[in-house]
Chain A
Amino acid sequence: MFSEGVKVKQSGSDEDIISSLPLDLIACILGKVSVREAVRTSVLAKKWRFYYLYIPQIVFDNEFCEELDDSFEKKGCYIHELQCNQFDEIIAKSLLLHPGELEKFKVCIPYDASTMVPYVNKWILYLSWRNIKKLTLTYNTLITQSHKLPPYFFSCLELTSLKLKSFVLTPPLEFKGFLSLYKLILVGVDFTNNCFESFISSCPLLRRLVLRDCSGVHHYNISGSYLERLFIKADDNFQSISLEKAPNLSDVYLYPGKIVEGQEGNCVSDLVTFMGCLPKVKLLGFDSQFLQVSAKKFLFQVV
């Protein structure tokens, strides 16, 4: 922290009213306005030049992307590479100039991985030095080539919350896990080399897990003794699901899109069997296909 929070009241009437706040509290306020508004404070007065750099969270969301896009249009800047380059410049600068530890970093990337990979890898490199805690990186393009995460991504060991969209996840052999991670949201993430199960089990504190349209996962063997909320929307390649090793699940949403089978090829769509391995469940959500299968099985048993 930057100060002891001891306040000295200025008696002079020309003193501005925010100067009594220590820098960390000003940064706390600026962290709650948009990044654009925070940067605008740099022109308020001399001493405000660099206050905005101290914001504990940097968020470049869709709104930012849209505003930037408008500004490109106004300037007549239509060259894709040039846009990507300027987008990177803004983001890399905010990271490079940030003087302290960064709590949260979020970027919605409006361009395709084909041009963005080197830029995004550079941001991840900066982040890996900054003890980043909450990270969101999402490619928001419709058709996107997946971006393979660089090895140094796996040295962001302080992560508590992580959201990724359209990346390829291949943890290096020496990766010991994200030991503080409690929230993990993966959308369109590709797990290569069957690393899914070992990756999930190397995040022992996970409480909330969302897996949407991830590829390279055939068997959703979910483990985690703290896991409370689980959402799975699987792709066509998946074969089974097992929740036995996550006994504390309370909210479970499954959208498998096809028949769910147990580990030894047994159909676990039988709701009774399924509930048996979820002693603490309070909320269950399924898609219609899952329920159809359950109903068929039920009929079969009655006959």
Chain B
Amino acid sequence: MVKLKSNDDKEFEVEEAAVIQSEMIKNMIEDGCATSVIPLPNIDSKTLIKVIEYLNKHINMGKAAETGEEDDLKEFDEQFVNMGWEELFDVIMAANYLNIHELMELCCQSAADRLKNKSVRAVREMLKITNDLTEEEEQEIINDAPWAFEGPEIDDTVN
């Protein structure tokens, strides 16, 4: 078992087989740098719980492929990314910091899927981006690459 400590001083015990999916922690353990508790100053407990949930489910990826549990894993992944933007970005940051490639891919893909086909207005609203461009500036940018701003149906909804 490996103990992880979040930046709000909460400790979590995780099986080594699960936690070594993080390249960062794997390297720490291999190099003998892992102390009794590994502090993670960039990750809060709420995010760490999500990451550990993922690690525990994906503990034996290779085995899942053999035993036909792939669908189960796929379903889990779909459910897993069903979270708000802020939470999703927190998990992306944590996955990047811990270097968990699969989790990074999963969450960035989910973020990308949510942006797909959305109008500029919808993206601004979803990500709470304040438009600080003047109309002229905006038009100038559009004129720079008109092909990107015209064309097939663009979704204006914020879901």
Contact = CB atoms under 8 A, between A and B. Distances in A.
B124 interface: yes
Interface stretch (A32-40, A243-251, A255-263): A32-40
B79 interface: no
A216 B139 CA distance: 52
A28 B104 contact: yes
B83 interface: no
B151 interface: yes
A77 to B, nearest CB: 11
Contacts of B144: 42
B115 interface: yes
B42 to A, nearest CB: 6
Given A5-B97, A7-B93, A70-B152, A33 B112 contact: yes
B60 interface: no
Given A36-B151, A37-B116, A44-B131, A49 B96 contact: no
Interface string B127-157: 1111111000110011011111111100000
B29 interface: no
B85 interface: yes
Interface string A21-51: 1000100111011111101111111101100
Contact of A71 (B112, B142, B151): B151
A14 B128 CA distance: 8
Contacts of A15: 128
B120 A44 contact: yes
Nearest to B127: A18
Contacts of B131: 44-45
B129 A44 contact: yes
B133 A45 contact: yes
A291 B82 CA distance: 51
Interface residues of A, dominant DSSP: helix
A98 to B, nearest CB: 14
A16 interface: yes
A43 B138 contact: yes
B92 interface: yes
A36 B132 contact: no
B93 A25 contact: yes
A71 B147 contact: yes
B58 to A, nearest CB: 20
B118 to A, nearest CB: 8
B113 to A, nearest CB: 8
A62 B52 CA distance: 40
Chain B residues touching A, range: 35 or more
Contacts of A79: none
A90 interface: yes
B86 A37 contact: no
A67 interface: yes
B111 interface: yes
B54 interface: no
B141 A43 contact: yes
Contacts of A35: 148
B59 interface: no
A21 B92 contact: yes
B27 interface: no
A144 interface: no
A70 B111 CA distance: 28
Given A20-B89, A41-B123, A70-B151, A33 B115 contact: yes
Interface string A59-78: 00000000110110010000
A51 B62 CA distance: 36
Contacts of A39: 145, 148
A131 B145 CA distance: 26
Interface of A: 5-7, 14-18, 20-21, 25, 28-30, 32-37, 39-46, 48-49, 67-68, 70-71, 74, 86, 90
26 contacts: A5-B96, A6-B42, A16-B127, A16-B128, A21-B92, A25-B92, A30-B112, A33-B116, A36-B147, A36-B148, A37-B115, A37-B117, A37-B118, A41-B123, A43-B120, A43-B138, A43-B141, A44-B131, A45-B129, A45-B133, A46-B132, A46-B137, A71-B147, A71-B151, A74-B150, A90-B147
Interface of B: 42, 85-86, 89, 92-93, 96-97, 104, 108-109, 111-112, 115-118, 120, 123-124, 127-133, 137-138, 141-142, 144-152
